Amino acid sequence: MPKRTDIHTVLIIGSGPIQIGQAAEFDYSGTQALKALKTAGYRVVLVNSNPATIMTDPELADATYLEPLTIEFLEKVIAKERPDALLPTLGGQTALNLSLALADAGILEKYGVELIGANAEAINKGEDRQLFQQAMQKIGVECAKGKMIHTLEEALAWVVEIGYPAIIRPSFTLGGTGGGIARDEAEFIALLTQGLPMSPTHSALIEESIIGWKEFELEVMRDHNDTVVIITGIENFDPMGVHTGDSITVAPAQTLSDKEYQELRVISQKIIREIGVDTGGSNIQFAISPTDGRVIVIEMNPRVSRSSALASKATGFPIAKIAALLAVGYQLDELPNDITRVTPASFEPSIDYVVTKIPRFAFEKFPDAPQRLGTQMRSVGEVMAIGRTFKESFMKALRSLESDQRGDFEAMSASQLDALLEPTPKRFLSILELLRRGSSVDALHDRTKIDRWFLAQLEEVVAAERELKTLGTLETWKYELWREVKRLGLSDARLGELSGKSELEVRNLRKAAKCFPVYKTVDTCAAEFEAFTPYHYSSYEWEDEVRPTTKPKVMILGSGPNRIGQGVEFDYATVHAVWALREAGYETIMVNSNPETVSTDYDTADRLYFEPLTFEDVMNIVEHEQPIGVIVQLGGQTPLKLAAALEAAGAPIIGTSPSAIHLAEDRLEFNRLCTRLGILQPRGAVANTPAEALKLARELGFPLMARPSYVLGGRAMRTVHSQSDLEKYLTEVYSSVEGNPSILLDQFLENALELDVDCLCDGVIAVVAGVMEHVEAAGIHSGDSACILPPVHLSSTLLEEVHATTKHLALEIGVRGLMNVQYAIYKEQLYILEANPRASRTVPFVSKAIGHPLAKYAALIGVGQTLEQIGFTAAPVPSYYSAKEVHLPFLKFPGVIPVLGPEMKSTGESMGIDADPHLAYYRAQLGANVKLPRSGNVLLVGSGLEEIARRLETLGFITHSSVSDDNAVLPDLLIDLTGSRILRRALEAGQPFYTTLEAAQWLVSALEKLGGAVVGVSSLQEWQSTIV
Amino acid sequence: MLIKERAVLALEDGTVYRGYAFGKRGETIGEVVFNTSMTGYQEIMTDPSYNGQIICMTYPHIGNYGINVYDMESNRPYVRGFIAREFTHTHSNHRATEGLEEFTTAHGVISISGIDTRALVRRLRQGGVVKGIVAHRSFTHPDDPYGEFSSDEEAAMVARARAYEDIDGRDMMPEVTTQLPYVWPAQANLEKGKRIVFMDFGIKHTIIKKLAEIGAEVIVVPATTTPAQIMALHPNGLFLSNGPGDPSAPTYTHETVWKLLGLLPTFGICLGHQILGLAVGGKTFKLKYGHRGGNHPVKNLLNGKIEITSQNHGYAVDTDSIQGHFRATHINLNDQTLEGMAHLRYPVFSVQYHPEASPGPHDSHYLFQRFIEEVNTFSGANALPTAKSSSGLIGV
């Protein structure tokens, strides 16, 4: 059946701010779906509060609503846009839950909106543990023994039957939030007490433990014709017990015979049919007993998931795009396989390489949280690498992580290494080190239950490292030996460590031996058919099948794994650069290692190299492709860090030059520049010893911002208010590290108003694109502050000064492209805090707020266009206000008190637009999933809150100023400036809380404005059309 | 290990791939083809259809889950040689009874690893299947296994590959068919007394098991068995098995099948399908590089359903050539070649692909059930086809 003609407008719900368990992969899937549906001729309406995404670009949907993802706002959008259908399966758990809620509330029926892809019944069957288990029983598929409970008493009675350890899985929570493994009754009670309230249905599944079993996932697709295909199997390196999002995973499955794999395939087909997912993708997780092969179904996601994104990138099969087209009526056999063009999409990819995904964690941001992995996902990003063998792909993934810490491991004692074998983020690094020290595969298997096959593969790498030391100096190595060594995935840098040479020396010797990587193609069919897609990876093989063209080409370096501080915003910027340069007639080459992103979609750039973002791998591609330019300023710190080395090796860096980057990043150089330009900076000094630090602190005066000269896993910046504060800080820093780091001390501008400025410069003129006023005062990381554009509390004189200073600075530094500057207004004077000559995380926000694609302009400046040619010589100041709020991941880190500080901790953001700045702030709050009350009890803790209290009372709230004990009933709204434990309780209970005076003020103003106002909905396209 | 015994794969077109020795040491010659199944190397190696061929597995890791006693498709490997990017040294699976290295060494499978198998597959895809030689260094230079072959040695291998007899036109039946008939008892007793004669052109055990599982008593007979001998066994159905090589070569089988046509419900798979086509005067042709893998989409023309199928064939039946005898029931969606046909008058049908899978997807198991239904409802040699098959419901 071809596409449906009874549907005209399709509504898609996004997944909101990036959070742990729901990240950039849904930007990827949403973007694919929007493009596919528009191409198929449908009108598409999108609701997503997350401005950092590509999917919320005004060009992608016909109407884009950057509005809160709540039933209330969704109904407003539905009433206004009157879609015929809602596609609920592409925006993660958020969209699925909201779609179900819209159906349950009768809203879909009221407006005649049909759920396509999966109906409410199927979603319920897939998501509700009890219904799922019943369905599995019906088709004779085994689940772990489990029971749905609603109270602690019920749970305690059941656990007697299954024993410990027991698994707790709260229903309908994202990424396993609130779940865990209880080893004894105390842990069981603690986990349930916390987890049960997080479930919207106040229920949880308590299951027998199958920890240590082998874990697999199958990505399944189905169409209206009941064709069911498996896109790929994925095997987890980490066995059961670690959330699959936190596990190292490998595609395809490695240790299953055909009989076992086909059994999983048959079960998957039965499940998707029984659950009733009509069309689209689903993900089914299995556990297999390593001793007798007993198969247990863990769960199924009746939607596109993080694993679907990985499976798409791992195979070249565009799951989200196809899922969207199947939902509107197409059949798999009616759609072509984009890659081969001549064969249909009704097939199962065969791959001739191995894909490894390794998650990236951010525990260093939460030093108080235990670094132990379990059933609740905690990773913030991931890398994927492709190699011809597992060894090659694993080692490439390892270096893609950009966090090689081998040195730390060499110094560890056996017991320290053993402690890391409890599932921790560093388990695999500990395993490598233990193998180097002679631990056996069997011993490590007994300890970790990781399959012997994986361990034996790693042992082969370690054995080769040992063997190669016996094979003479690198100077004597012939091509074949080099090739065999490189085939193991060992980097030049690692070979340098093993042979006492620099990375560059190894590189030169390798090249002298004529050992270069070749490039292969990801083609879904193991070369059985000709491939037309330019999706490549490197390997040390014989045939290079990727011929560079003669067209002028520009290479854009992506941002690598998402992490706190470097997220989807940078993917947005690099993708925009690709689009702009393609339009301008250049061949574009994308290099990135992050499978969650739009940038690594095979039809984003003209060529995609899925490779680690290291000097070695990037330079190899530069030498292979010979681009006329390499853009490093749009992918965040990752590519920026490579700029100098790449340039030294002859890569043509375009845009801001590495020497200009150095000028802004080197503290001394930058100080001199500011002094010369007459720009005020907070006073600062560098101390080399604790004594010197104390002496300098007295000279500078308190309060001070203190930080070590290089970043240390987590213990970074702190505001110190007194001599004793500083002494305490110094003791901590010096006792916890080897050697003596120098300490940077800067005058802390207390209660200063902070500004974020994004500007573009072509070398001739500079244009300030946007000035954002932070809600939180200086001292809170800019990435964790809410902000408003245009500014509200800035005098026109100061605004003028901000513009003039920024432009002057950009021209003096020699920026060619984007620059972000942070200022503080302290006692009516403008201070510069830092300048970053690169795309900042606010670029997508500003671009959407002012209706100009800044990253595109930056890319065009890179290839020599001027701002005048581009037509951007002055930025418009919109007549409306845009507010940004952040999403923080505290919930995932037990015991951590949710307060803000100078270290960035947020994972994502929301945007709200309104004619009134405070209502824009209000929308952004809701967009960041804050459930704001309009009445009820408010608890205010801290000084200086009297006025706030008075205003809240006027609004009808009942205010309280003290809390009796830890078990007191939580208020409907909490304002706590003291960082007390009640904040944690509010967080866990999902109650709204504010921790700064400024945010509280903005909130109260917003609630006051809200009084009589009708809050409607307007699309981004409508807002932008008001810009003159 | 970084230093390994060398081996080469030399193709008749002069291409030489240099890699490392694995399995039984020696030298072997055959037709080089590739298979895109990511699992199932044991089934592939022991499938008699691969007789005379050197198989290149496109999946780079082969041997991961070892070898077990359950997944044999015959009593020994039939492949002439085996190629993979990397063979596993440490396997892991609870079903495994030995490693691939022991198995290939014990059963004489001369293998090579470490070559750019993707380059080889691209070469086969573009130029078609070729003859080739796998040679291990220690076979000719036992004192220097790590040394390189000289260019003269390599050139000599290329020449030998070129001079080797083509698979086309060669009758391989004597190499694969059973010498004596044997009985495989029914495992279930759904329909008492239904007996199916299997013409063994190189049969896979799973096919027999599939029919035995659903209640048939199977008598496997040599390919040279005459129609009279077959009818003397009082069968209720005839099965034409899979097998290796050029279907046009064993002309006696065409004759036998032609004489039996219409006398018994008949089901053919792969070579059996091709022989059925040839028996009615149809034609077969050689595919450029064959269909070998577990992911080929086939459309059932009778109900519009799509099956993902397991395939292993180098020849195909020309759809036009069977007009007047058979109708096409299944086609391959990748290249539109014929994948299944049903006779216009008799309960006789066949598929080019492998519904028994092993290895591969199980989407097409329904065909065995379908055959048994034909057998059960068949009411005599002179009867017209049952209503079901004449209404074109085969495969539903």
Instruction: Encode pLDDT of A745-784 as tens digits.
Output: 989 998 899 999 999 999 999 999 999 999 999 889 999 9
Give the Cα separation of A230 and A272 in Å (integer).
Answer: 11
Contact B340, B297 (CB under 8 A): no
Decide: helix, strand or coil at residue A177. Answer: coil
Q: What is the pLDDT of residue B388?
A: 41
Single residue among B117, B139, B163 that ends a domain in this structure: B163
User: B248 and B186, same structural domain?
Assistant: yes
Shared-domain flag, residues B21 and B40: yes
From-to residues of CATH 3.30.1490.20 in chain A: 145-209, 683-747
Residues of B with Cβ-Cβ distance to A254 under 8 angstroms: 61, 64
Per-residue tokens: A809: 């600075």
Q: What is the pLDDT of residue A733?
A: 77
Task: Pinpoint the residues of chain A covered by CATH 3.30.470.20.
Answer: 753-837+842-876
Domain boundary (B135, B163, B191) is at B163
List A286's β-bridge partners, or say none: A216, A297
Burial of A876 (0-12, 13-18, 19+ CB in 10 A): middle
Please answer yes or no on whether A266 and B304 come within 8 Å at the CB atom.
no
Taking CA atoms, A246 is separated from A217, A287, A309, in Å, by 14, 16, 15
How far apart (Å, rounded) are the C-alpha atoms in residues B309 and B311?
A: 6
CB-based contact (8 Å) between A354 and chain B?
yes
Q: Rounded to an integer, what distance in angstroms lies between the CA atom of residue A234 and that of residue A216? A: 6
User: Which has more pLDDT, A682 or B384?
Assistant: A682
Task: Quote the pTM value.
Answer: 0.95
Chain B contact for A295 (CB, 8 A cutoff): no
Q: Which of B370, B341, B65, B268 is nearest to A454 (CA)?
A: B65
- CATH code, A9-116: 3.40.50.20
State the Cα–Cα distance between residues A299 and A24, nearest whole angstrom. 22
Do both B272 and B385 map to the same domain? Answer: yes
By the CB < 8 Å criterion, does A763 face chain B? no
Q: What is the mean pLDDT of chain A?
A: 93
CATH code of the domain containing B259: 3.40.50.880
Q: Are residues B150 and B277 in the same domain?
A: no
Residues B116 and B140 in one domain: yes
Instruction: Give the Cα separation of B307 and B361 in Å (integer).
Output: 9
Of A259, A482, A538, which to mutate for an interface test with B (greatest number of B Cβ within 10 Å)? A259
Region A358-387: mean pLDDT is: 92
Which chain B residues in 107-126 lie under 8 Å from chain A, judged by CB atoms?
Answer: 115-119, 121-122, 125
Region B236-245 average pLDDT: 97
* Chain B residues near residue A252 by CB distance under 8 angstroms: 38, 59
> Cβ of A453 under 8 Å from any chain B Cβ?
yes
A777-800: burial string, b at 16+ Cβ within 10 Å, e else = bbbbbbbbbbbbbbbeebeeebbe
Residue A419 carries which side chain, given as an amino acid letter? A
Spatial distance between the Cα atoms of A745 and A700, rounded to a whole number of angstroms: 9
Are the Cβ atoms of A541 and B119 closer than 8 angstroms?
yes
Q: A467 — contact with chain B (CB < 8 Å)?
A: yes
Residue B284, chain A, CB below 8 Å: the answer is no
What is the average pLDDT across A458-468?
A: 97
Inside any domain, residue B262: yes
In words, the CATH class of domain A405-460 is mainly alpha
Tell me the C-alpha distance between A491 and A509, whole Å.
13
User: With a CB-CB cutoff of 8 Å, which residues 260-289 of chain A face chain B?
Assistant: 260-262, 265-266, 289
User: Is residue B395 a part of any domain in this protein?
Assistant: no
First-residue to last-residue Cα distance in chain B: 53
pLDDT at A138 > cutoff 70: yes
Of A792, A802, A863, A859, the closest CA to residue A1005 belongs to A792
Chain mean pLDDT for chain B: 93
Considering only alpha carbons, which residue of chain B is nearest residue A351?
Answer: B59
* Residue B1 falls inside a structural domain: no
pLDDT tier at A713 (50, 70, 90 boundaries)?
Answer: very low
Q: Do B159 and B188 share a domain, yes or no?
A: no
Nearest to B122 among A257, A259, A545 (CB): A545
Q: Which residues of B touch A526 (CB under 8 A)?
A: 36, 58-59, 118, 121, 293
Here the tokens at position A786 are 């809410």
Q: Do residues B73 and B202 share a domain?
A: no
Q: Residues B100-122: pLDDT tens digits?
A: 999 999 999 999 999 999 999 99
Q: To the nearest whole angstrom, how far is the Cα of B374 from the nearest Cα of chain A?
A: 26
Mean pLDDT confidence for A558-566: 94
Q: What's the pLDDT at B118?
A: 98
Considering only CB atoms, A343 lies closest to which of B60, B91, B334, namely: B334
**B168 within domain boundaries:** no
Using CB atoms, pick whichever of A262, A289, A451 lies closest to residue B92: A451
Q: A218: which chain B residues are within 8 Å (Cβ-Cβ)?
A: none
Closest residue to B40, CB basis, from A258, A342, A353: A258
Pairing mode, if any, of strands A166-170 and A228-236?
Answer: unpaired
Residues of B annotated catalytic, as ranges: 270, 354, 356
A476 neighbourhood in chain B, CB within 8 Å: none
pLDDT of residue B188: 63
Write out chain B residues lying below 8 Å of A292, CB-based: 94
Number of folded domains in chain B? Answer: 2
Whether CATH 3.30.450.90 fits A548-655:
no
User: Cβ separation of A257 and B293 shorter than 8 Å?
Assistant: no
CA angle A875, A877, A880 (to 5 degrees): 145
Q: Residue B39 corresponds to which tokens in the numbers above?
A: 């699992």
Tell me the pLDDT band of A714, cut-offs 50, 70 and 90: very low
Per-residue pLDDT at B221 exceeds 50: yes
- Mean pLDDT over A372-378 rounds to 90
Could you name the CATH architecture of A683-747? 2-Layer Sandwich (3.30)
Digit-coded pLDDT (tens) for A160-210:
988 898 989 888 776 667 888 898 999 999 999 888 888 888 899 898 889
Q: Do A350 and B299 touch (CB under 8 A)?
A: no
Asked if pLDDT for residue B6 goes beyond 70, the answer is yes
Q: Whose CA is closest to B60, among B102, B100, B88? A: B88
In a domain, B33, yes or no: yes
- Partner-chain contact A347 B86, CB within 8 Å: no
Nearest residue of chain B to residue A222 (CA atoms): B306
In chain B, residues with a C-beta closer than 8 Å to the C-beta of A257 are 39-40, 42, 65, 68, 71, 93, 95
Interface of A with B in 374-403 (CB under 8 A): 388-390
Cβ-based contacts of B86 with chain A (< 8 Å) = 388-389
Same domain, B342 and B300: yes
| Helix, strand, coil percentages in chain A from 3-state DSSP, rounded to 5 | 40, 20, 40
Indicate the angle between helix axes A615-625 and A637-648, nearest 10 degrees.
Answer: 60
Interface-testing mutation among B42, B46, B118, B366, with chain A (most A C-beta atoms within 10 A): B118
Look at residues B140, B163, B186 and tell me which one is the last residue of a structural domain: B163
Query: Which residues of chain B are within 8 Å of residue A353 when distances are taken between CB atoms?
Result: 60
Domain that holds residue B25: 6-163
User: Do B297 and A527 count as a contact with CB atoms less than 8 A apart?
Assistant: no
pLDDT of residue A967: 62
Using the predicted structure, report yes or no on whether residue A112 has a pLDDT greater than 90: yes
Q: Which of B38, B85, B362 sits opposite A389 (nearest CB)?
A: B85
For the segment(s) A909-1010, the CATH number from 3.90.79.10, 3.20.20.210, 3.40.50.1380, 2.140.10.10 is: 3.40.50.1380
The helix (run of H) or strand (run of E) holding residue B300 is strand B284-300
Highest mean pLDDT among A442-446, A1007-1011, B193-197: A442-446
What's the pLDDT at A743?
85
Nearest-CA residue of chain B relative to A542?
Answer: B116
- CB of B170 within 8 Å of any CB in chain A? no
Lowest mean pLDDT among A680-694, A706-720, A851-865, A938-952: A706-720
What region does A77 belong to: left with phi over 0, alpha with psi -120 to 50, or beta?
alpha
Do residue B104 and residue B182 come from a single domain? Answer: no
CA A706, CA A745: separation in Å to the nearest integer?
Answer: 5
Q: List the beta strands (DSSP E) in A319-418.
A: 354-360, 381-387
Q: What is the pLDDT of residue A793?
A: 95
Same domain, B122 and B208: no
Q: At what angle do helices A452-468 and A441-448 cross, to 10 degrees?
A: 140
pLDDT above 70: percentage of residues in chain A: 97
For domain A753-837+842-876, the CATH class is alpha beta
- Which has more pLDDT, A665 or B44? B44
Q: Using a CB-CB distance cutoff of 8 angstroms, which residues of chain B are in contact with residue A441?
A: 90
Q: What is the DSSP letter of A334?
A: G
pLDDT in tens, A883-915: 999 999 999 898 899 999 888 999 999 999 999
Shortest CA gap A469–chain B (Å): 11
Q: Cβ–Cβ of A441/B90 closer than 8 Å? A: yes
Percent with pLDDT over 90 in chain A: 83
Phi, psi angles (nearest 5°) of residue A829: -125, 145
pLDDT band at A406 (very low <50, low <70, confident <90, very high): low
Closest CB to A262: pick one of B122, B293, B362.
Answer: B362
Nearest of A86, A125, A115, A139 to residue A301 by alpha carbon: A125
Write the pLDDT tens digit of every residue in A219-272: 999 999 999 999 999 999 999 999 999 999 999 999 999 999 999 999 999 999
Distance from CA of A351 to the nearest CA of B (A): 7
Give the separation between CA A314 and CA A386, rounded to whole angstroms. 8
Average pLDDT on A591-606 reads 96
- 3-class SS shares of chain B: helix, strand, coil, % to 5: 25, 30, 45
Establish if B234 touches chain A: CB-CB under 8 angstroms.
no
Give the single-character DSSP code of A387: E
Q: Which of B5, B37, B39 to mutate to test the interface with A (most CBs of A within 10 A)?
A: B39
Is B395 a residue whose pLDDT tops 60? Answer: no
Mean pLDDT score, A588-606: 97
- The ranges of chain A annotated as CATH 3.40.50.1380 are 909-1010
Q: Does B305 touch chain A (CB under 8 A)?
A: yes
- Within chain A, all domains assigned CATH 3.40.50.20 are found at 9-116, 548-655
Q: Which residues of A touch B58 (CB under 8 A)?
A: 350, 352, 526-528
Reading the block at residue A967, the tokens are 């078990």
Average the pLDDT over A293-298 and give the result: 95
Asked if residue B314 and residue B211 are part of one domain, the reply reads yes
The closest CB to that of A254, out of B61, B121, B122, belongs to B61
Q: Within an 8 Å CB–CB cutoff, is residue B92 touching chain A?
A: yes
Instruction: Nearest by CB to B95, from A257, A354, A481: name it.
Output: A257
Q: Cβ of B304 and A541 within 8 Å?
A: no
Q: Per-residue pLDDT for B30 more than 70? A: yes
- Closest in A254, A292, A526 to B64, CB measured: A254
User: Residue A603 contacts by C-beta under 8 Å, 6 or more apart in sequence?
Assistant: A338, A533
End-to-end CA distance of chain A: 46
* CATH classification code of A145-209: 3.30.1490.20
Q: What angle do CA B158, B161, B167 make, to 5 degrees?
A: 155
CB pairs under 8 A between A and B: 179
Q: Are residues B140 and B278 in the same domain?
A: no
Retrieve residue A663's tokens: 């000028």
pLDDT surpassing 90 at residue B81: yes
Give me the mean pLDDT over the B371-390 stretch: 68
pLDDT over 90 percentage in chain B: 90
